[in-house]
A and B are shown apart, each in its own frame.
Chain A
Amino acid sequence: MTTHTTAPGAPLGGWALADTRALVGRTLRRALRTPDTLLMGIALPVIIMAMFVYVFGGAIDTGMAYVDYVVPGIVLLCAGYGASTTAVGVASDMTGGLMNRFRSLPMRPAAALTGHVVESMARNAVSTVLVVGVAFAAGFRPDAGPGGWLATAALVAAYVLALTWVAVCTGIVASSPEAASAFSFAIMFLPYVSSAFVQPETMPRVLELVARYQPVTPVTDTVRAWLTGAGQAQPWVAFAWCAGLFLVARVGAVVLFRRRTR
């Protein structure tokens, strides 16, 4: 039974790191074997981009080329949707037998959650790059330098990280993977009531307030300002939203996980 004691046989970085690495390997393999999740995460924003740029765009006046206005919102919609699908993976681990098996092993079961989060970051990095590529093909012409792109990448990553942990919470409490998939639907709606597609000033008063004080608006505005120079960047508000969501969801995930597995 010496194989289970930590001290002598523990690998470099300890068992926690080794467990997490094993589980990240697992989720990445799963991602490669379900390309439909990635494809959906790209196809959806591309269709929405085509709709808004070519169908509605002509009728929406934002004081700038609509494609330049809308692409930041589409990128965040894509990232939000991609992050939200994590809920399904977590829910199927929780409701199938796998989580019980993890819990009866001498590992830290929360490492399984970390595996899902790392997979979400990697998958969203790929899908975001592809969606930006499609945006260029549709006529997106940002004028940001390397610094602007780097800052944008950091903000989008923070946004994905925060939403992924919210998705993890949803996955933990969901009664089935199907129920968890409804979360993606809810997350997809957030950008519509924000500055992503139209300027909030054009909305009825109540919706304008919702749009102004929800996370998608400052994040979108900041990305748009950094990439195209249009509008006001609100980096502190944007990062504060991401950090706040992350902290609440991260702590929430631990608490919910304990309650669900009691």
Chain B
Amino acid sequence: MPMIATHGVHKSYGRTHVLRGVDLAAEEGEVLALLGPNGAGKTTLVGVLATLVRPDAGTAHVGGYDVVREPQRARTVFSLTGQYAAVDDLLTGRENLRLMARLAHLPTAVGRRRADELLDVFRLADAADRLVRTYSGGMRRRLDLAVSLLTRPRVIFLDEPTTGLDPRSRGELWQVVRDVVGEGTTVLLTTQYLEEADALADRVAVLDRGSVIAEGTAAELKRRVGTAHLELELAGGEVRHLPTDGSVADGRRLLAEVEAAGWEVRHWRLVTPTLDDVFLALTGEASSGAKDLQEVAA
């Protein structure tokens, strides 16, 4: 049984069709990244799964519970970390955790122990008794995620968890997500950073204008766009692309050919398709990288 499953989910606000029949599934312990630009419907879909948004049509199940018909049961399975850090600025980190533990109906002693544990795991122990309004952006997100983990949920929704964070804080948050996943938790992650989906997810679903336009592992999606190539900048400023399988032997062979042909190469590099290329190719706005690949293929 998939831990997360949606079938034909539709949602409109007035005349704006935000979701147009979304089908998704994630198995237990899987990290599924939902990749899409602003306005693709990512947050709305998470809202449906998190029982916050009522779908107009279709069904959504979390942990086997229908989110529309059994929202209370579904809420015992998942936790949500939204786009805005949902923590109280005027409480300390520890108070936030204890309050949320009480509201999650954990026994007091369990809640307190769990709060202290999470403060350690998230390296917030030193700041535990400071007001959250003195925290940095990265610390707030970590606390937010810690709150989500109080009840040891089997499913975690992470809605753009690193938007607005500096690279170091982003890296720290990624590490935490990886640790959590090690415990067999199912994660649905939305992101507009292809790098993030690549780094964290087992599978990537690309959402564009309310529907899933591609799905697969990051490697599978990249393969759909093309293979790696050598990019050569010649002395005259001309740029040439040579397809390669990316192995050392093939690189050596190509460079030898280049030498034999007498090209004067000023600079060369190996270019592999990124998820950016995949994304832009799929959504029809061909990037320069994708165009070059087409040229090479031609």
- Which segment of B95-103, B200-208, B289-297 sits at the interface? B95-103
> With A29-B91, A98-B86, A104-B79 given, is the CB distance from A3 to B107 under 8 Å?
yes
A1: interface (CB < 8 Å): yes
Interface locus among A15-23, A38-46, A148-156, A166-174? A15-23
Contacts of B86 in A (CB 8 A): 96-98, 100-101
Contact of A104 among B51, B107, B110 (CB under 8 A): B51
Closest to B84 in A: A97
Cβ contact within 8 Å between B131 and A30: no
A202 within 8 A of B: no
Q: Does A140 contact B (CB under 8 A)?
A: no
Cα A18 to Cα B102 in complex, Å, equals: 8
| CA of A103 to CA of B53, assembled, Å | 11
Q: Is A104's CB under 8 angstroms from B91's CB?
A: no
In the complex, which residue of chain B has the Cβ closest to the Cβ of A29? B91
Q: Is the interface of B mostly helix, strand, loop or mixed?
A: loop
Interface residues on B, range: 35 or more
| CB closest chain-A residue, reference B72 | A106
B269 interfacial by beta-carbon distance below 8 Å: no
B80 within 8 A of partner (CB): yes
**Residue among B91, B99, B102 with max Cβ neighbours from chain A (10 Å):** B102
B76 at the A interface (CB under 8 A) = yes
| B52 interface residue per 8 A CB criterion | yes
Do the beta carbons of A96 and B84 come within 8 Å of each other?
Answer: yes
Q: What sequence of 0s and 1s flags, for each residue 8-27 of chain A, a beta carbon within 8 Å of any chain B beta carbon?
A: 01000001001100110110
Q: Supply 26 A–B pairs (Cβ within 8 Å), ascending by A.
A: A1-B77, A3-B105, A4-B104, A4-B105, A19-B103, A22-B103, A23-B99, A29-B90, A29-B91, A29-B95, A30-B91, A33-B90, A33-B131, A96-B84, A97-B84, A98-B86, A100-B50, A100-B82, A101-B80, A101-B82, A104-B79, A104-B80, A105-B103, A106-B76, A106-B104, A107-B104
Residues on B lying within 8 angstroms of A by beta carbon are 50-54, 72, 75-80, 82-88, 90-91, 95, 99-100, 102-107, 110, 131, 144, 147, 151
